[in-house]
Amino acid sequence: MLYDPVEVVIDKTISTFRLKDWQYDIEDLVEEIAEALKLIGAAKIYEDRVAKLIVNSYVAKLPYGLQHIKGLIPTGIPYTESGSFIEVNEPDGTEIYLEYQGMPLDTRGYVLVPDSVEVREALMWYIVKIKCLQKEITVVSFEYADREWDWRCGSARASLNAMSVQDMSKIHANFTKLNPAKDQHLKNYTSIGLRNTLDREKNRDNS
């Protein structure tokens, strides 16, 4: 999946609603974009990641953008998740590695935005909804912004969950590898695991 920096959404929001510098804080907007991405909730938003954690006073800080903890390395270390930390019974300075699913980040630690028109529109309307609540945007009502966000959130989720041509090609390739012709036993199963046509007649040995 291709990604864009958060500025793609932030700049569009600022230009569309003519926000002044004093009406927004960049760090707040980045947090709101991350919140909106979590609410959209499509699996494609997240990727498998590994982070090194340093234990201090029996706790270690969890990485930004984490959605789901898969486990610790070395495996078998018991832990308890507590807010933005995990509690572990390990001495100070211990290095442990966390396997988790999280949103991809840029070099600044800002979340990256999936390259999708539907996603960008949904994120913008989530920001607008928050700004309406804060009375920083008044050209549309909070109720209108909330409805737009709700509709565009579903549209973004559907867009991310839709299978691409590449996804379909992978499914087809995997299926045909698991679809041996009925006469494989006569060929000592020499072509098991190779690409196969779905037309079984074409796989018959005409000799």
Longest dimension (CA), the chain: 81
Q: How far lies 108's CA from each of 26, 30, 124, 149, in Å?
A: 13, 11, 21, 27
CA angle 20, 24, 27 (to 5 degrees): 140
In SS3 terms, 6-73 reads as CHHHHHHHHHHHCCCHHHCCHHHHHHHHHHHHHHHCCHHHCEEEEEEEECECCEEECCCCEEEEEEEE
Q: What is the pLDDT of residue 41?
A: 87
Alpha carbon distance 3, 116 (integer Å): 8
Alpha carbon distance 106, 182 (integer Å): 51
Instruction: For 52-95, write each residue's pLDDT tens digit.
Output: 999 999 999 999 888 889 999 988 889 999 999 999 999 999 99
Q: pLDDT at residue 207 above 50?
A: no
Lowest mean pLDDT among 12-16, 78-82, 139-143: 78-82
On whether the CB atoms of residues 157 and 40 are closer than 8 A, the answer is: yes
Percent of the chain beyond pLDDT 70? 78
Q: What is the pLDDT of residue 197?
A: 56
pTM of the model: 0.71
pLDDT band at 176 (very low <50, low <70, confident <90, very high): low
Instruction: For 179-188, write each residue's pLDDT tens digit.
Output: 555 555 566 6
Q: What is the pLDDT of residue 200?
A: 47
On whether the CB atoms of residues 152 and 125 are closer than 8 A, the answer is: yes
What would the mean pLDDT of 176-204 be, rounded to a whole number?
56
Instruction: For 84-138, write each residue's pLDDT tens digit.
Output: 999 999 999 999 999 999 999 999 999 999 999 999 999 999 999 999 999 999 9
Q: What is the pLDDT of residue 21?
A: 93
Q: What is the pLDDT of residue 113?
A: 96
Instruction: For 35-51, write each residue's pLDDT tens digit.
Output: 999 999 888 888 999 99
